[in-house]
Structure formats: C-alpha cells, structure tokens
Amino acid sequence: METKKLSASKFSLGYGLIIGALLIILSLVLNMFGMKQAQNYNWISYVIILAGIIWGSLVYRNSYSEGLITYGQSFSVGFLIGLYAAILSTIFSFIYLSYINPGSINEILEITRENLYDQELSDDQIEQAMNFTEKMTTPIIMSGIVLIWNTICAVVFALIVSIFVKKEQ
C-alpha cells in the first residue's frame, strides 16, 4: 500500500487551524462566563496546543511519512502546527480587543490596579506601574505578546513531543 505524500507545511496548516479554532472557542467561552482574567484557566490552552501537536505529529508520521519520521521532521510538523495556531489566535485576539470587546482592556487595567493596591505599594509606585501597564495594554502589543508566547510554547512542546514521536529505521 502506497502512502500519500504531503508536505509538512500543508499538513500542519490544517491541524494548526483546528487547534487555533479550539483556542478561539476556549477564549470565547471563558469570556462569556467572565473567567478570562482568571489565570487558573491558562493551562487549558496549553493542553490544547500540546494535544494538537501530539495528534498532528502522530497522524503525519503514520499516514503521510510511511510510519517513519526523524526528530527534525517531527519537530517541523509540531512547530508549524503550533505556529499556525498561534497566528490564528493572535488575529482573533487583535480583532477581539479592537472591535468585539475593547472594554476588556479597561477591565485588565482595573484588575491590575486592584492587585497593586493589595500589594500595599505607595501611590507613586502604583501610578508608575499603571502608566507602564497602560502603555503595554494596547490591542497590538497584547496580540504581539500572544503570538510570541504561543510560538515559544509551540517550540518547547514540539521539541519535547518529537522525542517521543520520532521513529527512524
């Protein structure tokens, strides 16, 4: 039986879009229930990215690479899946923060101010921190942070997953 040939980038695009869509759905659900600002739920997005990289790498190895895959090929597939998911979730973050719910930035600033008061900082320290936070909480900067962080996660997860997925002759 002959296996189908498909480039890693084309294959990864489909899985990356699926994982990115799942991240968007998670974000919408958390926002709908007012849980987006709670850091307790961030781990769910990491699980989705990790599971997507594992799933996509295994499918690529077994269905498109004749059951064999080098560490480098596995890393490429996993990284590209994570990168495409990161790009899609970044685009969504920008649209969400700019057009769908621009008030969420004010919520972030309010939560930050409350946290600073809880730390019993002086008024000058709080104002300095808030000035910096206000500069960093624009849709472009926040979306850029999402892209960078999700890409770093994709690299780390792909490096680890590739150790277990690789299967050479």
Q: pTM of the entire structure?
A: 0.87
Q: Angle at Cα 92 formed by Cα 105 and Cα 40, nearest 5°?
A: 60
pLDDT, tens digit, 9 for 90 and up, residues 82-119: 999 999 999 999 999 999 988 888 888 888 888 888 88
pLDDT band at 41 (very low <50, low <70, confident <90, very high): confident
Q: Give domain limits for the chain.
A: 8-165
**Residue 87 burial class via C-beta count within 10 angstroms: exposed 0-12, middle 13-18, buried 19 and up:** middle
